[in-house]
Chains A and B, each alone.
Chain A
Amino acid sequence: MRQRIGVYICHCGGNISDYVDVEELSKMFHKEDGVVVSKDVMFACADSNQKAMVEDIQQYNLDAIVVASCSPKLHLHTFRAVAGRAGLNPNNYVQVNIREQCSWPHSDRPREATVKAAGLIRAGINRVVYSEALDSIEIEVKKAAMVIGAGISGMKAAIDLARAGNEVYLVEKDYFVGGHIAQQEKLFMTGQSGKEIVKRLYDEMKSYKNITVFTGATVSKVTGSLGSFNIEVKVKPRFINGKMDKQSVKRVMDDCQVTVRDRFNEGLTTRKAIYKNYPEALPDVPVVDMEALRDHPDFLEKHKAVINPNEQEETIALLAGSVLVTTGFDNYEPKEGEFGYKNIPNVITLPQLNRLMELSPEKLVYNGKEIRSVAFIYCVGSRQKKGENKYCSRQCCTSTIYTALQLKEKYGKIQNYHLYRDIRTYGKQEILYDRASKQGDLFFKYEEKELPTVEMNGNAITLKVKDYLTNKKELEITPDLVVLVTGMVARADAPHISELFKIPIGNDKFFNEIHPKLKPVETVIKGVYIGGTCQGPKNVSEAVQSSLAGASKITALLKSGTVMGDPVVARIDADVCTWCGKCAEVCDYTAIRETITKAGKHIAGVNRSVCTGCGICAPVCPVNAIEVAKYTDHEIEAMIDGFAAEVEIREEDVSAVNEGKEDFVAAHMKEYPQIWKDILDTLDTEKKTIPEMVDTLNMAPEMVTWHLMTMNKYGVVSPAGTNDKEEYYYYKIK
């Protein structure tokens, strides 16, 4: 139990103290048991106050501190660090949110706001009394990373990881690397060929001795955790005798007459039973499709020097400190009959059209017919209000428009019709939209509630659309080809990967990061990161940005050889636990296993480096044997007691909350908090409006507004006229 507590209550320059009587509260808590120091401070986060706190902790030998100020999302780490600098365990610090959850939402009722703040602070003090000096968990990490999926996201990440000196295992399920971009003849925005990029990256990977690429490989088992994941990888055989030279292998390929549907060409063509995805596919070793050759023993016998039907699947055990998942996306497969798909001959998908174009160097011919007009139906399998995929697939508007430009560039006279819901060619991609409009493409806007219809009339397709651009006029088009702009969906085997690594899956079925803005590539599984399109639709540049972010996170993690794990984990009371196993059943991370105590008792044991501290196990224990550190019964119940305690505040002080306020503030404003300094920095050279400051500071508009109002009130800044449209005031330094 903590007995020497320091309490700091922040004015936030008026953001709090305009509505909450912080001076009265600091006097009140001075009398509280265990409280040695109780102060109201102008800006708790200001450097001068941080220094004063360090001095207090040392001088008064404080064993815990409470700061009542803004939301912990802003300054939890600031004050943790203060505690650390003063030699106090950062876990003996509690932050109480009396701004976002008190002074601001209750600015209409200062009296009640003060009473509530008293309850919140008392709860904080009660909680800190029970706080423990928890030590971080030191975990050794193996300087090796596994990257799963060798699309562009995985390959770029593997190279970065290797360059930083890590051992890298790149595991690719297909027999060839590259993922979807290998299917793209040209990629927006640079016009580069997908295959060339794949080749360049593959060559670069080969130049690193510390990258091992496994193709035809999948992860089959994972044990261990952050620092040392033991991963079993199964590598499928290629059935090619590795000793044979390329010429002999090629002769067998030429001799092969067995063909099957070509997945790489989206089913538009067939491929041989001995194949490469495309001639330059890498690694440069063909694969034998044994399934396709099952009924051709003569062929196998004839070429037994080259084809080895007995080659076995290999299982390889690897040890990695961290894992990056970059397994990418699948294309949405339209349902039979969706816009005529599979029922009407000339209805295909965008990925199919892209393959068709690469395979058709001169004339665009489909089903024996030369294509002179193409109608694209956008958002197929995306943005479904009633369907499964509520999200927008982000890249397909631009992919389609880029394809339409290519059609015209490559084949000359082609008329493109675009049946869209909204055009989302954001950022620089807008230039392509402009080009498509200028080249004479026609755009029609439809709504989900009135979908276009595709019918066959004799030999011709009739496409009907209610066009919202021309007052919902029903228009008819007769294109040679209808192209369904299919969106991105999560990989069919994503649940399997999720199961192996315990990565949470979102509503959209893609993998879930912890937080899209604050922890965009981290998962709740320590040491497991996600990058590229396995987290959701992205174009190449966005996919690579996220996978490289994951790679740098991993490099930072593996650098020192050890990492400090969060001590907020579950723990079991060995005396109480009866090993009923209920907790282990609900733990999604298999952090709980049966263990035997020295005394021979069977109890639940928590693997501290795996436990996420989610607390899900705690309420299910029938005998209350589980607590999560920092969320113990003592701490939470003491907080509730704190909220509930009677508050005695002298009436006159509350009503006088604002009297003499400005003088006090002026006298105590020795230093500005960081956020004021940041605002002043933006005003240093020129006056600015609030939206301009928001842009420069990348901060919530409300946050800038409230601080600016306070700064204005205390004469730190002043208004300087309005902007041209008279929409916003300019502010300048006073």
Chain B
Amino acid sequence: MPNDNTSPKILVFSTDKISDPGIDQAGLRKIHYSPSVYVINMPCSSGVKPRWILHAFEKGFDGVFIAADGHECSYSASCPERTNDIIIASQKLMAEKNINPKRIRMAALCSVCAEPFVSHMENFSKILAGLEE
């Protein structure tokens, strides 16, 4: 059966203790979002390597979303800046491959942020669908 799902394919990096539980909440409350959203959970969003992000694009993902802990991160007070550095480093690598920098996004999510997660996914899908490379 071919996958007739045409919405953009998004890879989300979440964090074990905060944003992943937030994403679980959306499921628990049966708030629907696109089934082409796939999640990998990590200890901390500052640990995501730009090469993984590039790998996702090479494998056909349309966008990568980092669901960070923001200032709630229990590992590092400078987590938001660090995660941002990862985005910048990734965008540099993406530029070399002519990948639109808008294909990567980051936002802080909390452990009960079900609606915010879903609306982030909706907005990001819209942006991705509207991109013309």
Residues of A within 8 A of B42 (CB): 615, 631
Distance between A436 CB and nearest chain B CB, rounded to angstroms: 34
**When the two chains form their complex, are residues A99 and B27 in contact, meaning their CB atoms are under 8 A apart?**
yes
- Report B1-44 residues with CB < 8 Å from chain A CB: 1, 3-5, 9, 11, 17, 20-21, 23-24, 26-33, 35-36, 38-44
Known A644-B59, A650-B1; judge A619-B32 contact (CB<8 A): no
Q: Which residue from B24, B35, B52 sits with its C-beta under 8 Å from A113?
A: B35
**When the two chains form their complex, are residues A633 and B36 in contact, meaning their CB atoms are under 8 A apart?**
no
A46 within 8 A of B: no
Q: How far is the CA of A119 from the CA of B59 in the complex (A)?
A: 13
A624 within 8 A of B: yes
Q: How large is the interface on B (under 10, 10 to 19, 20 to 34, 35 or more residues)?
A: 35 or more
Q: A675-716 CB contact bits vs B (8 Å, 1 = yes)?
A: 000000000000000000000000010110010000000000
**When the two chains form their complex, are residues A105 and B32 in contact, meaning their CB atoms are under 8 A apart?**
yes
Binds B, one of A131-139, A156-164, A439-447, A507-515: A507-515
Residues of A within 8 A of B50 (CB): 619
Residues of B within 8 A of A624 (CB): 49, 51
B130 within 8 A of A: no
Q: Which residue from A104, A505, A616, A646 sits with its C-beta under 8 Å from B82?
A: A616
A106 within 8 A of B: yes
**When the two chains form their complex, are residues A619 and B76 in contact, meaning their CB atoms are under 8 A apart?**
no
Q: B49-84 CB contact bits vs A (8 Å, 1 = yes)?
A: 111100110011100000000011111111100100
Q: A567-599 CB contact bits vs B (8 Å, 1 = yes)?
A: 010000000000000000010100000000000
**When the two chains form their complex, are residues A633 and B30 in contact, meaning their CB atoms are under 8 A apart?**
no
Residues of B within 8 A of A301 (CB): none
**When the two chains form their complex, are residues B5 and A640 in contact, meaning their CB atoms are under 8 A apart?**
no
B127 within 8 A of A: no
Q: How large is the interface on A (under 10, 10 to 19, 20 to 34, 35 or more residues)?
A: 35 or more
B5 and chain A: residue at smallest CB distance:
A112
**When the two chains form their complex, are residues B76 and A644 in contact, meaning their CB atoms are under 8 A apart?**
no
Residues of A within 8 A of B39 (CB): 97, 101
**When the two chains form their complex, are residues A612 and B5 in contact, meaning their CB atoms are under 8 A apart?**
no
Known A614-B76, A619-B50, A631-B47; judge A637-B55 contact (CB<8 A): yes
**When the two chains form their complex, are residues B74 and A648 in contact, meaning their CB atoms are under 8 A apart?**
no
Q: How far is the CA of A643 from the CA of B5 in the complex (A)?
A: 14
A100 within 8 A of B: yes
Q: A112-133 CB contact bits vs B (8 Å, 1 = yes)?
A: 1101100110010000000000
Residues of B within 8 A of A123 (CB): 38
Of the listed residues B28, B29, B42, the one surrounded by the most CB atoms of chain A closer than 10 A to its CB is B28
Known A120-B38, A624-B51; judge A615-B46 contact (CB<8 A): yes
Residues of B within 8 A of A113 (CB): 35
A248 within 8 A of B: no
Distance between A591 CB and nearest chain B CB, rounded to angstroms: 12
B48 within 8 A of A: yes
Q: Which residue from B21, B30, B47 sits with its C-beta under 8 Å from A618?
A: B47
Known A615-B42, A631-B47, A643-B38; judge A700-B28 contact (CB<8 A): yes
B89 within 8 A of A: yes
**When the two chains form their complex, are residues B21 and A73 in contact, meaning their CB atoms are under 8 A apart?**
yes
Q: How far is the CA of A178 from the CA of B74 in the complex (A)?
A: 30
Q: How far is the CA of A610 from the CA of B49 in the complex (A)?
A: 22
Residues of A within 8 A of B41 (CB): 72
**When the two chains form their complex, are residues A633 and B46 in contact, meaning their CB atoms are under 8 A apart?**
no
Q: How far is the CA of A620 from the CA of B28 in the complex (A)?
A: 36
Residues of A within 8 A of B32 (CB): 105-109
Residues of A within 8 A of B76 (CB): 504, 588, 614, 616
Q: Which residue from B17, B35, B43, B61 sits with its C-beta under 8 Å from A106?
A: B35
Distance between B124 CB and nearest chain A CB, rounded to angstroms: 16
A463 within 8 A of B: no
Known A101-B23, A107-B30; judge A612-B17 contact (CB<8 A): no
B13 and chain A: residue at smallest CB distance:
A636
Residues of A within 8 A of B23 (CB): 100-101
B86 within 8 A of A: yes
**When the two chains form their complex, are residues A615 and B89 in contact, meaning their CB atoms are under 8 A apart?**
no
Distance between B19 CB and nearest chain A CB, rounded to angstroms: 12
- Report A479-531 residues with CB < 8 Å from chain B CB: 504-507, 512-515, 518, 523-524
Distance between A535 CB and nearest chain B CB, rounded to angstroms: 12
Residues of B within 8 A of A54 (CB): none
Q: How far is the CA of A97 from the CA of B50 in the complex (A)?
A: 24
Q: How far is the CA of A115 from the CA of B1 in the complex (A)?
A: 9
**When the two chains form their complex, are residues A515 and B17 in contact, meaning their CB atoms are under 8 A apart?**
yes
**When the two chains form their complex, are residues A628 and B35 in contact, meaning their CB atoms are under 8 A apart?**
no
Distance between B121 CB and nearest chain A CB, rounded to angstroms: 10
**When the two chains form their complex, are residues A633 and B49 in contact, meaning their CB atoms are under 8 A apart?**
yes
Known A616-B82, A633-B51; judge A101-B24 contact (CB<8 A): yes
**When the two chains form their complex, are residues A654 and B47 in contact, meaning their CB atoms are under 8 A apart?**
no
Q: How far is the CA of A108 from the CA of B1 in the complex (A)?
A: 18
A637 and chain B: residue at smallest CB distance:
B55
**When the two chains form their complex, are residues A100 and B24 in contact, meaning their CB atoms are under 8 A apart?**
yes
Q: Which residue from B35, B56, B75 sits with its C-beta under 8 Å from A614?
A: B75
Q: Which residue from B24, B78, B89 sits with its C-beta under 8 Å from A97?
A: B24
A621 and chain B: residue at smallest CB distance:
B49
Q: Which residue from A115, A116, A507, A568 sits with its C-beta under 8 Å from B71?
A: A507
Q: How far is the CA of A614 from the CA of B68 in the complex (A)?
A: 13
25 contacts between A and B (CB under 8 A): A73-B20, A97-B24, A103-B27, A105-B32, A106-B32, A108-B32, A112-B5, A505-B77, A513-B74, A514-B17, A514-B74, A614-B44, A614-B46, A614-B47, A614-B75, A615-B42, A615-B46, A616-B76, A618-B49, A619-B49, A624-B49, A636-B40, A640-B61, A649-B1, A654-B1
* Interface residues, chain A, with chain B CB atoms under 8 Å away: 71-73, 97, 99-109, 111-113, 115-116, 119-120, 123, 504-507, 512-515, 518, 523-524, 568, 586, 588, 612-616, 618-620, 624, 628, 631, 633, 636-637, 639-641, 643-644, 646-651, 654, 700, 702-703, 706
Known: A523-B74, A588-B75, A616-B79. 17 other contacts (CB 8 A): A73-B24, A99-B27, A105-B32, A106-B33, A109-B35, A116-B36, A120-B38, A514-B74, A614-B43, A615-B48, A616-B76, A633-B52, A636-B52, A639-B40, A640-B61, A644-B59, A654-B1
Shortest Cβ-Cβ A-B pairs, 3 listed: A615-B47, A100-B27, A112-B35
